[in-house]
Amino acid sequence: MTIAARSLPALSLDVANLPPAPQVVQIEVGLLQNFCEILFCPETRAAAIVDPAWEADRLLRECDARGLRVTHALITHTHEDHIEGVEEVVRRTGAVVVVSPREAEALAGAGGARLDVVDRLDVAIGRRGVRALDTPGHTVGGTCYLADGFLITGDVLFVGGCVAGVYLLHRKWTSGAFHKGLDNNSPDQLYYKF
């Protein structure tokens, strides 16, 4: 049986009045196939880096090369492979860190100003923006960022597969804890886990 064959409740995602979508540059960083996204406003050159990790210097060079000014670091969740570069980005740009208050403690040492995520919060990136969606599950404060035309999912969904994990927040990389139960799941397996 497939998910499509079941009767699922209709989604009531609020997509009305989304801000105009930022442009996106997606960059693979580190050794764990992590993706970082640079979202930017082509008019003002304001930019947000999503989950800066492993290669913060490279991400900032990519911004410099495009003439972008980093105003925000958008955090989907605070596993180490998603936040390892936040401190450096904040130190070098003064970016505001956008993160769920349920996971903000993990970034207490990163410095800079913080914007607490609440569900459906619109975060402006210049004249463009994204809408934060509270999506706990992979972690307690997991957040997706919805733009008009795409969704940044963090580890809620992986490109080419799905991940289901009922995790409590853990701030340090521990490969055993990280991989426990974090299998690549088919959509059906994901559905049954939830």
Catalog residues that contact Zn ion under the rule CB under 5 A.
79, 155
- Least separation in angstroms between CB 138 and Zn ion: 6
Q: Is the Cβ of residue 103 or residue 155 nearer to Zn ion in the bound state?
A: 155
- Least separation in angstroms between CB 140 and Zn ion: 12
Helices (H), the chain: 56-65, 80-83, 86-93, 175-179, 187-193
Contacting residues for 39 by C-beta, under 8 A, at least 6 apart: 22, 23, 24, 47, 48, 49, 50, 74, 125, 128, 130, 147
Q: Is the Cβ of residue 80 or residue 148 nearer to Zn ion in the bound state?
A: 80
Q: Determine how β-strand 114-116 pairs with β-strand 143-147.
A: unpaired
Q: Is the Cβ of residue 61 or residue 180 nearer to Zn ion in the bound state?
A: 180
- Least separation in angstroms between CB 14 and Zn ion: 25
- Least separation in angstroms between CB 84 and Zn ion: 12
Contacting residues for 184 by C-beta, under 8 A, at least 6 apart: 158, 161, 162, 163
170 exposure class (CB count in 10 Å sphere: 0-12, 13-18, 19+)? middle
Q: Is the Cβ of residue 84 or residue 155 nearer to Zn ion in the bound state?
A: 155
Q: Is the Cβ of residue 66 or residue 170 nearer to Zn ion in the bound state?
A: 170
- Least separation in angstroms between CB 34 and Zn ion: 9
What residues form DSSP beta bridges with 144?
133
Please identify which residue in the block is written with the tokens 């972008």.
Answer: 68
